[in-house]
Amino acid sequence: MKTDNITPLKNPVFVTRSSMPSFKEYCDEIKGIWESHHLTNMGPKHNRLVQKLSEYLNIPSVSLYANGHLALENMLEAYKVSGEVITTPFTFVSTTNALVRKGLKPVFCDIKKDDYTIDPSKIEALITEKTSAILAVHVYGHVCDDQAISDIAQKYDLKVFYDAAHAFGVLKKGVSVAALGDCSMFSFHATKVFNTIEGGALCCRESSMLGAFDAFKNFGLDADKEYSEMGGNAKMSEFHAAMGLCNLRHLDEEIEKRKKVFERYADGLGNTEGIKLCFPGEGITHNYAYMPVLFTGAFNRDKVFDSLQKLNIFARKYFYPLTSDTEWYKINVPERKHTPIAAFVADNILCLPMYSELSSDEIDIIINAVLRSAE
């Protein structure tokens, strides 16, 4: 490995960098709050963000949340999901933690080699009389095989939920992924393509569920001012909504810049034996949320990670370990299924730095360091 003659970067490069509006834009946005004294509880900023997101996603039902994880938990409550839920181990722990915390049993299904989303051909074998739903993840913004999933769900009368935390702004044939399945969760965490600092949303086509979503996040209080559900508190504040209103104005530009970063990486790494990148599938408008690279052959994921780290560049072993292989699941879900493809991907994948402000020089340094790590 000949990385010693390359000097480490003076300023560290992390795997992601939160997008922010200018200080002035945010200050202008929050100014009105000092007149209204309306800080939270579905105020004007919150309501404007609901409307803007509903337009952006072209979906009638949008309910905002304090974060994506609580949105997931409320989704499971609102649909009264019970028993077993078939899901993927190749995701952030939040997905399956939500299931377990709501008293459900996660049943781990293997993923597809090409895009790392749940493999529909392996779902049917996992269905029992206790199965009530499928919780799939558009991992890295890669759209799941929604048609195959929906066919299985119809056959066995299961609900279909999407953890779309990575997929804000992703379109399939011009339609937002928010329209897929019974319901989708988006995360607006600081590290996501679109952020409200902390935040999230539930989205679905069926407006009949909106009342339940709104009640569950506000102590169960329904539109008739009755406490009709066993709710908690997961409301989005005005300051978070204001950040969202600002960031949404720049989102298309943000994704366009990320696309340029992706293309530069793809030019530098795309035709190398032992390096697998994921390109957007046909009919997909991608959001370039992450830069996952699968290393095999002459490349070793951990070695690539270490050579980057020596240069002050911090990639992430994302997702490693599999959710099913984390300490809690090893102890508490001992009968979990073997998912060989997910295990292979978790052992060999690395997310390289990906954000709109990543400079061409920095990308080139990363590409060179990756290529040299195989020497």
Ligand X SMILES: *Cc1c(COP(=O)(O)O)cnc(C)c1O
Answer whether the bond into residue 106 is a cis peptide, omega within 30°.
no
Residue 67 lies near ligand X (rule: CB under 6 A): yes
Per-residue contact flags (x/-) with ligand X for residues 97 to 136, judged by CB under 6 A = ----------------------------------------
Strands 183-187 and 200-204: what pairing? antiparallel
Cβ 196 to ligand X shortest distance, Å: 9
Our CB check for ligand X shows the closer of 38 and 102 to be: 102
Residue identified by tokens 């392996």 is 122
Q: Which stretch binds ligand X (CB under 6 A): 159-167, 204-212, 290-298, 344-352?
A: 159-167
Beta strands in 28-103 (DSSP E): 61-65, 84-87
Sheet containing 291-295: order of strands: 275-277, 291-295, 349-352
Residue 320 lies near ligand X (rule: CB under 6 A): no
Per-residue contact flags (x/-) with ligand X for residues 187 to 216, judged by CB under 6 A = x-x----------x----------------
| Positions in 257-286 near ligand X (CB under 6 A) | none
Residue 288 lies near ligand X (rule: CB under 6 A): no
Our CB check for ligand X shows the closer of 66 and 269 to be: 66
Percentages helix, strand, coil for the chain (3-state, rounded to 5) are: 40, 15, 45
Answer whether 339's CB lies under 8 Å from 322's CB: yes
Single residue of 92, 116, 168, 305 touching ligand X by CB under 6 A:
92
Q: Which stretch binds ligand X (CB under 6 A): 14-22, 62-70, 120-128, 301-309?
A: 62-70
Answer whether 305's CB lies under 8 Å from 350's CB: yes
Q: Which stretch binds ligand X (CB under 6 A): 162-170, 216-224, 341-349, 350-358?
A: 162-170
Q: Which stretch binds ligand X (CB under 6 A): 63-71, 116-124, 259-267, 355-363?
A: 63-71
Residue 163 lies near ligand X (rule: CB under 6 A): yes
| Closest residue to ligand X, based on beta-carbon distance | 68
Residue 137 lies near ligand X (rule: CB under 6 A): yes
Per-residue contact flags (x/-) with ligand X for residues 165 to 184, judged by CB under 6 A = xx------------------
d(CA 309, CA 3): 11
Residue 346 lies near ligand X (rule: CB under 6 A): no
With a CB cutoff of 8 Å and minimum separation 6, the contacts of 252 are none
Mapped onto helix, strand or coil, the DSSP state of residue 261 is: helix
Cβ 315 to ligand X shortest distance, Å: 17
Cβ 202 to ligand X shortest distance, Å: 12
Mapped onto helix, strand or coil, the DSSP state of residue 212 is: helix
Cβ 188 to ligand X shortest distance, Å: 6
Residue 69 lies near ligand X (rule: CB under 6 A): yes
Encode burial over 190-226: b for 16+ CB neighbours within 10 A, e otherwise. Answer: bbbbbbbbbbbbbbbeeeebbbbbbbbbbeebbeeee
Answer whether 109's CB lies under 8 Å from 245's CB: no
Cβ 172 to ligand X shortest distance, Å: 18
Residue 68 lies near ligand X (rule: CB under 6 A): yes
Q: How far is CA 271 from CA 265, 276, 277, 296, 339, in A?
A: 11, 9, 9, 14, 29
With a CB cutoff of 8 Å and minimum separation 6, the contacts of 117 are 88, 111, 136, 137, 138, 139, 142, 143, 144, 145
Kindly state the tokens that stand for 152.
């299985």
Cβ 190 to ligand X shortest distance, Å: 9
In Å, the largest CA–CA distance within the chain is 69
Our CB check for ligand X shows the closer of 149 and 369 to be: 149
Cβ 67 to ligand X shortest distance, Å: 4
| Positions in 17-46 near ligand X (CB under 6 A) | none
Answer whether 34's CB lies under 8 Å from 168's CB: no
Residue 96 lies near ligand X (rule: CB under 6 A): no
Site residues for ligand X per CB under 6 A: 67-69, 91-92, 94-95, 137, 163, 165-166, 187, 189, 200
